[in-house]
């Protein structure tokens, strides 16, 4: 039983990291809504800054998920997650900044939010099993 304590601790740390990613994505979503209705290039820049923060944190998180999977003796922790964000979309959204690029970015943010939510739910379920 005592060997499960470090695993539970690791899961809890990962869940905290996921909450940070959720905050960034929620902030990006809010900037995105503002960008659709009133925004200009600066608003798009703020939105994409939050998306980039979340993406950077998730890339770090993937390493932790792989370590956790090894700690669980090869239990696969499935996460279907690559950030939907491209440099061309970022460029177009900031410099062209039209309603189409705004909606496309908002759609990507929502997809990322949903995927991170599913990952969080899976890890919470795993945590409860211990």
- Is the model's pLDDT at 81 over the cut of 70? no
Average pLDDT over residues 23-40: 92
Higher confidence at residue 93 or residue 66?
A: 66
Mean model confidence pLDDT for the chain: 86
- CA dihedral (20, 26, 32, 37) in degrees, to 10, reads -150
Rounded-to-integer distance, Cα 58 and Cα 12, Å: 16
What tokens does 121 get? 């739910």
d(CA 99, CA 61): 32
Average pLDDT over residues 88-93: 74
Mean pLDDT confidence for 105-121: 93
Full-model pTM: 0.85
Over residues 58-78, the pLDDT tens digits come to 999 989 988 888 877 755 566
76 burial via Cβ count (<10 Å: 0-12, 13-18, 19+)? exposed
pLDDT at position 78 is: 63
């Amino acid at each position: 039983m005592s060997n499960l304590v470090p695993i539970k601790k690791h899961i809890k740390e990962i869940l905290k990291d996921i909450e940070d990613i959720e905050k960034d994505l929620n902030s990006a979503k809010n900037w995105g809504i503002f960008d659709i209705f009133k925004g200009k290039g600066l608003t798009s820049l703020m939105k994409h800054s939050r998306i980039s923060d979340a993406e950077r944190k998730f890339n770090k998180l993937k390493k932790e998920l792989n370590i956790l999977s090894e700690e669980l003796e090869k239990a696969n922790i499935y996460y279907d997650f690559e950030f939907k964000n491209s440099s061309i979309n970022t460029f177009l959204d900031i410099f062209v900044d039209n309603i189409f690029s705004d909606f496309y970015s908002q759609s990507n943010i929502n997809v990322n939010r949903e995927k991170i939510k599913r990952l969080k739910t899976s890890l919470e379920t795993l945590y409860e099993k211990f």
